[in-house]
Amino acid sequence: MAFFTNKDIQEFEHLYKINLVNSLSGYKSANLIGTLSKEGKENVAIFSSVVHLGSSPPVLGFILRPTTVPRDTYKNIKETGFYTINHIAKSFIEDAHHTSAKYDSEISEFDVTDLESNYLKDFKAPFVKQSPIKIAMKYLEEYYIKANDVLMIVGEIQSVNIDGDLIQKDGFIDLSKGNIAAINGLDGYAIPKLETRQTYQRPKKNNL
């Protein structure tokens, strides 16, 4: 069994350290966030930090790394107030991962990959056409996290577009039916399969 202290981790070689720490939290969501600049330039970028924050109202958050360098996703969201979250499926993992490359602002990732943008119901940001789950988002607020100089962006769901028979009778979305990917660390991709669903749990009564 491997054992590392905080001091050990801090002293690891850089790439080893970020691979290790990024893998520790377990499987993460794999999403493409689509935005449109005020000049009309499309941008799409991969994120592994989208999280559920609440259902009433329906709110999602994601983490944005320090804005000390240009971040087109952040810039576009702040300028327009809208963005999309698109789940990544097995069929386009390679193109989705390539959006992590650092292109100049005038180059759209849609133009350098086989990902296709489309617009639904006049929403003001591009969706990824191939994605089996597309979510339209409106920017609400952001929180600065001092510990490592990142931002949590909070947005409210405006609409959802879900393919096929992924939605079950009780509203549960079976991601495995859509071959939807999860991210392990920085560059590992897995296609999880649903094993079981458990019932709502209540405290056990003592057998006196």
d(CA 34, CA 117): 9
pLDDT computed for residue 32 by the predictor: 98
> In what order do the strands lie in the sheet containing 42-47?
42-47, 31-36, 82-87, 133-145, 150-162, 58-64, 51-55
| Tokens of residue 95, six digits | 């193109």
Per-residue pLDDT of the chain (208 residues; tens, 9 = 90+): 999 999 999 999 999 999 999 999 999 999 999 999 999 999 999 999 999 999 999 999 999 987 655 689 999 999 999 999 999 999 999 999 999 999 998 999 999 999 999 999 999 999 999 999 999 999 999 999 999 999 999 999 999 999 989 999 999 999 999 999 999 999 999 999 999 999 999 998 876 5
pLDDT of residue 65: 84
Domains, the chain, with CATH or none = 27-190 (2.30.110.10)
Q: How many CB atoms lie within 10 A of CB 68?
A: 7
Provide the token pair at 80.
């327009």
| SS3 label, residue 167 | strand
Q: Could you tell me which of 110, 116, 131, 114 has the C-alpha nearest to residue 180?
A: 131
Measured distance CA(28)–CA(49) in Å, rounded: 7
Tokens of 83: 């963005």
Residue among 158, 155, 94, 161 nearest 131 (CA): 161
Instruction: Name the one residue in this structure whose structure tokens are 């499987």.
Output: 27
Phi and psi based region of residue 22 (left: phi greater than 0; alpha: psi -120 to 50; beta: remaining): alpha
